[in-house]
Each structure stands twice: as C-alpha cells, then as structure tokens.
C-alpha cells in the first residue's frame, strides 16, 4: 500500500523531473528516505511505470500503461479510505441497548 508521501512523490514527478533533494524538501524527509521510497514505488508500479534517474535533471516518471497506472493509484487511494473507515468503526463507541 502506498502512503501519502509516496503518492506525493508520484504526483510531483508527474509534473516534472526532480532531484532527490527537491523531493526530500517538498515531502519533509531525508534524501535517503526518498531513495527508499523510489525503490518501493518501482517495485509497486510493477511494470506499469517506472521512476528512473536521468542525470542532472534528477528523477523522472515514465508511464508505460497509463490506464493500469491510474487504476493502481486509485486502488491504493481506495484501500486507504477503507482502512480509515474500518479503524473509525473499531474505535467508535457503540450505544448501549
């Protein structure tokens, strides 16, 4: 499951190439965390897209299967919403009968 920061990295890279330093600054984490997130994202994107280093421009997002890519992102968003609802339901006090 992708977390909010990883989704933000994808969103930022959809707009334009960025260096690890720029991504770190815009997400509030270290450059090392960005590199781990990029590794995880490439694993999760599973051939639908990839993030790759392009010299001085930094990292770029290349999308191979646009429809599958957006379906994957939507699935992760839906999973997050479902988890939030389940957690809310778990911790919401029930009225006594």
Residue-range domain boundaries for the chain: 4-89
Q: What is the pLDDT of residues 28-82, one digit of tens each?
A: 999 999 999 999 999 998 889 999 998 888 999 999 998 888 888 777 665 555 5
Candidates 28, 94, 90, 26; CA nearest to 59 is 26
- 97: pLDDT strictly greater than 70: no
What's the CATH number for 4-89?
1.10.10.10
The set of long-range contacts for 62-69, using a CB threshold of 8 Å and a minimum separation of 24, is 69/45
- 86: pLDDT strictly greater than 70: no
From CA 88, how far away is CA 5, in angstroms rounded? 22
């Amino acid at each position: 499951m992708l977390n909010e920061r990883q989704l933000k990295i994808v969103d930022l890279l959809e707009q334009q190439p960025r260096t690890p330093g720029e991504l770190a600054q815009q997400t509030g984490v270290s450059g090392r965390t960005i590199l781990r997130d990029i590794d995880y994202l490439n694993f999760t994107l599973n051939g639908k897209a990839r993030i790759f280093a392009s010299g001085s421009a930094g990292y770029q997002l290349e999308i191979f299967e646009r429809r599958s890519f957006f379906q994957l992102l939507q699935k992760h968003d839906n999973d997050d919403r479902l988890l939030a609802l389940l957690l809310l339901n778990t911790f919401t006090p029930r009225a006594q009968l």
